[in-house]
Amino acid sequence: MSSFNQEINNESAQVELIKESLISFHSKEAGFQLYPKAQEDSEDLHFGVFEVEMAQTPMCQKEQEINSTNDMSGSMQDICNDGRSKMQHLHLTLENILRLLSTNAEQSAVNLEITGFDDLILQVLDPTKITSDFEQLQQIINAMKKSLYPRGSTNIHLALQDATTRLQQKQTESQKSFIFMTDGNITTGTTNIKTLKQSVPKNSQNYFIGFGADHDFALLQELATINSGSYYYVDKIENAGLVFGEIIHSILYTALRNVTINVTNGEIYDFQTNQWLTEIRVSNLCGEAKKTFHVRSQNPNEFQLTLTGTGEEGEYKYEETVLPPLQDVETGVVIPTDLTKFMYRQKVLELLYQTTILAKNLYSTEEDKTKHQNVLRDFRKQIEAYSASLDAKESGDQISDEEKDYLKQLTDDLYISEKTLHSEKALLYSTVRQNAQGHETSYNVTQIDRSSLRRQRAFNGQQDEDDNYNVTVNPISRAYTSDTQAEIMRSCSATGPQDYETPQEQDQDQDQVQDENQDEYARISRSRTIQRSNCHYSDDDYRQIQRS
């Protein structure tokens, strides 16, 4: 348990942003133990958790600047399983976001800018304050559908540079967000990772979204490391609205930004580096969010934690200290604290990190991967046995549905990483599951590319004994999704009574737009060619441009 103290470095502010918080350390002897008993001459290392639940907060009233940069290369015309193209799904998602912002315009102050990119930049929507005016909404939607269509190649460097320039021009006191979407790989422009990372906006909260299994996931993951950004993989294009909805919720309902957690007399776990540290940084905490951070200490009674961040009312500071354990009122016996499920999660995060390292290493052998697969499989079965034992209890405290979902997500993490480890997309699947589990995001990848499973079966040379294992179909985590967040995600993913054009009608419309803009497009292309001739490229970049 813990005591909780909340300070606001602004005397006029009265809002308490943290609803509940708790520090607890595992003390139950039986069952799975993350840390074995230490030597007799040393103190035991105790595992604990810091659980925090944010209060329900209204939409942010502060000025918001959102830049939405969207891939409009030729591959966006690819048809998805539901018969719609990727571009049609993007249209629908953006339309839903616009309707959501317009409906809530009286509660928020959002300036939205939409651009498209291939090997050029297309201005779809100038920076515009979204209002509740229906006519404005329809004009924006019509312009977006007319302007955004599949056409050229993919120049990600150009898109990043353009977004950085635009966001730098915004007023400094506004909150800036950059939402970047692509479905493919770089086909023109530089591929130098250092140059690309230097082009990522530095003064904004950045979100990188990869559509489909063919995008450059390794690149987007690297870009997301800048300024504590976020990377999302949309494994099923029909679920794009859910991902965008989670992002829009995090923008509109941010309670604390630039969060730092410091601990004394102990350490806190950073899942991204697989390290135990005395300080970690968190990009933001949203209203109603429930987060669990893993901690450890040799002296739990002396463990202390401080959380700081920036809210709309100023700087916030929260302090936690550990209280004495609970005791039975009648007997005075100390009631043990059981954190077994959190210890399982800790071990899963460590295994997922090891999986990503193995997938990144060019010198990893098939034997190395098979050995690690066995470790993943064995630990998965251990969690499954633990879950089954809880469910089989004859007492009145059987496992709850939420706890079942919690443990099932852990086994899904291990299963997906295990079954894709021999495939070329091993890093993609292990990283997205690691990120979702570590960040406790609402959306999670549930679809496994069939070619990855075929690669696994071909390597085994026989039917897999776990072929009957069923990954959770629902991509939304019940444990990590608040009511408000779920509502926003539904709004952004709703299909609604939308009338989609036939492919023939869509082609006719695109031909008409292309004819109207052909002269301007050619003029800009000639201008860019002239500009390139006056620039200095590295040899690698120049060869890439020549090839394209």
pLDDT tens across 160-217, in order? Answer: 999 999 999 887 778 899 999 999 899 999 999 999 999 999 889 999 999 887 889 8
pLDDT at 545: 34
Can you read off the two tokens belonging to residue 283?
């990009």
pLDDT at 38: 58
Q: Please count the residues of the chain.
A: 548
Q: Which helix (H) or strand (E) holds 408?
A: helix 401-420
**What's the sign of the alpha-carbon dihedral 178, 181, 182, 187?**
negative
Q: How far apart are CA 227 and CA 203, in angstroms?
A: 8
- Contact (Cβ atoms closer than 8 angstroms) between residue 371 and residue 321: no
Which residues does residue 178 pair with via DSSP β-bridges, in sequence order? Answer: 67, 206
Angstrom CA distances, 394 to 291, 398, 399, 445, stand at 31, 8, 11, 35
Which residues does residue 224 pair with via DSSP β-bridges, in sequence order? Answer: none
> What is the rounded end-to-end Cα distance, in angstroms, of the chain?
61
Which residues does residue 322 pair with via DSSP β-bridges, in sequence order? Answer: 2
- Within 13 A of 96's CA, how many CA atoms are on the CB side? 26
Domains of the chain with bracketed CATH: 2-33+44-57+256-322 (2.60.40), 64-252 (3.40.50.410), 340-483 (no CATH)
234 exposure class (CB count in 10 Å sphere: 0-12, 13-18, 19+) = buried
Task: State the amino acid at position 98 in one-letter form.
Answer: L
**What's the sign of the alpha-carbon dihedral 49, 431, 247, 259?**
positive
CA 261, 345, 211, 372: dihedral to nearest 10 degrees? 120
Q: How far apart are CA 321 and CA 53, in angstroms?
A: 17
pLDDT at 445: 86
- Residue 543's CB is within 10 A of a number of other CB atoms, namely 11
Angstrom CA distances, 65 to 37, 205, 392, 469, stand at 53, 10, 52, 44
**Comparing C-alpha atoms, which of 164, 193, 165 is closest to residue 541?**
193
Q: How far apart are CA 251 and CA 254, in angstroms?
A: 6
pLDDT at 198: 96
Mean pLDDT in consecutive groups of 10 residues from the start of the chain, 548 residues: 54 69 91 75 83 92 93 92 88 93 92 96 95 95 94 95 93 87 93 95 92 87 89 87 92 92 97 96 91 95 94 90 78 86 97 95 92 96 92 64 90 95 91 93 84 60 65 85 91 62 44 46 39 38 39
